[in-house]
Amino acid sequence: MRGASGVGIVMLLSCSVATAMFRAADLVIVPVVAATPGLENSNWRSDVEILNVDTVAIDVAMVLLPSYSSSNAYWYLDMQNHLGGRQEDGFGHVDARLKDIPPGRAVILEDIVKTVWGEGRKGALLVYAFEAGSFSATTPPGGRPRRIIVTSRTYTQSTSGQGSEARTLTYGQQIPGIPWYDYIDPNLKEEGFSSVTFTGVREDARFRTALGLVNISDLLTSIQVKITLKAADGTVLKEHPVVLGPLVQVQYDQFVTGVLGLDAQQQYTNLTVTVEATGWQGTAAEPTPALIAYVSRVDNATNDPVYLEQAFGVELPWDCVFNGNCSPSTARALALRSQRRPLPLALALH
C-alpha cells in the first residue's frame, strides 16, 4: 500500500476543494452507478471510463457496493462480486480489457452495472489500479498501486419521433470518480473537513432532487451523519440523523419530501443541504471513518439530471500545498489525517 509523503503532498490529498485539479489515485470511488428504472419513467444506465495516468501498464479491479444494504462488508469480502482483468487472480467477473492497460490509454465499460452485476441494481463503484500482473506478487495479494483517473456518465433513454423517424435520445450527467483521499472526516471538524454543503436543491412541479451517501470506511466502521436542510434565507427547515453501516451506499430520491418529511404539497426552491459526519462506531484496530456525499437534481419533464459534487466550506491551504509553508493548524490537520486509503483491496482477498 502506498502512503503519501511530504507535508505538501499530504495536505494536497486531504482537501476536497482541490479535486477539480487532482483526481488521480490508486483507489477511486464513483459514488453512484445504476442499471435500474427510476421516477417519471426514467431508466438509468452507467458507462465508466478508466484512464491510466501512471508510467507503466496497469490492471484494474472493481466492485459494486449495492444500495440500501445494512452492511456490504460480506459482499465486499466475497471475490465472486469483484470484476478484474485476469481469471487467475480469482475475480468472480472477468473482462480482459482491464488487464495490461498501457500508460495514457483509456478503457470504457458501457452499461457496466447490467453487464457485470445484473439489471435492477445501483450503488457505488470502487475502482482499484495496480501494476499489470502484480496482483498475486504482493503479500498480502493486491498488487503494487498505480494511478488512474475515473469518469462516468449516468443517463436515461427516451425516444423521439415515430416509425422511420424514431430516434433514441439520452439525458445524462457526468459523475467524476472521487479519489480515496477526498472524503468527509468526522475527526476533522475543527479543520472544516467533517461536512460538505450543496446548493441548488429543488423539489417542485418541475424538478426533483436526490441525496446520496457512501460509507467508504474500513470494513468494521459505521458512520453517523446529520443532514441539515436550509431555506434560501438560511432558516433551518429540518435536521435528520442517519447511521450508515460498513460500506453502505444509500440514495434518497426526492429527499426533501421523502426522508426529511417536508410537506409534499409545497414547492421548494433554492435550498441548501449540509451533510456532516458527526461520529463513528466500530471495532477496527485502526479505524478510518470516511464518508462521501452527492446530490443529483433532475428535470421531471425530460429526466435530464445535473450532478452536484461535494464541496468543503474551507479554503485550500494553497501556500502549504504548493510552497510548503504550513501553519500550526495545518500541521495539526496533517497529524490527524490518515495517510493510508481507508479500504485496501487486499482486505477483500483473504
37 is a domain residue: yes
Distances (CA, A) of 332 to 53, 143, 192, 215, 299: 31, 32, 13, 25, 44
pLDDT band of residue 39 (cuts 50, 70, 90) is: very high
Amino acid 336: pLDDT: 58
Residues 205 and 257 in one domain: yes
Residues 83 and 120 in one domain: yes
4 is a domain residue: no
Residues 284 and 164 in one domain: no
Q: Is the pLDDT of residue 160 over 90?
A: no
Task: Name the residue with higher pLDDT: 73 or 168.
Answer: 73
- Listed residue (124, 126, 178) closest to 151, CA to CA: 178
Q: Is residue 3 within 8 Å of 183, Cβ to Cβ?
A: no
* Three-state secondary-structure class, residue 300: coil
Per-residue model confidence as pLDDT tens digits over 199-250:
999 999 999 999 999 999 999 999 999 999 999 999 999 999 999 999 999 9
Q: Is the pLDDT of residue 196 over 80?
A: yes
Residues 174 and 266 in one domain: no
Alpha-carbon distance of 13 to 18, in angstroms, equals 8
Residues 205 and 70 in one domain: no
The total domain count for the chain is: 2
Residues 173 and 257 in one domain: no
322 is a domain residue: no
Distances (CA, A) of 305 to 33, 43, 78, 296, 346: 14, 12, 33, 6, 36
Task: Name the residue with higher pLDDT: 21 or 28.
Answer: 28
Mean pLDDT score across all residues of the chain: 89
Residues 70 and 213 in one domain: no
pTM to 2 decimal places: 0.90
Look at the block and give the residue holding cell 476536497: 16
Average pLDDT on 259-272 reads 96
Q: Is residue 127 within 8 Å of 145, Cβ to Cβ?
A: no
15 is a domain residue: no
Average pLDDT on 170-199 reads 94
- Listed residue (77, 251, 91, 64) closest to 152, CA to CA: 64
| CATH (domain of 246) | 2.60.290.11
Residues 154 and 221 in one domain: no
Residues 77 and 156 in one domain: yes
pLDDT band of residue 177 (cuts 50, 70, 90) is: very high
Give residue 207's domain range.
Answer: 186-309
Residues 96 and 53 in one domain: yes
3 is a domain residue: no
pLDDT band of residue 342 (cuts 50, 70, 90) is: confident
Residues 127 and 233 in one domain: no
Amino acid 159: pLDDT: 75
Amino acid 168: pLDDT: 83
Least confident window among 91-100, 121-130, 278-287, 334-343: 334-343
11 is a domain residue: no
- Listed residue (68, 69, 65) closest to 78, CA to CA: 65
Residues 281 and 219 in one domain: yes
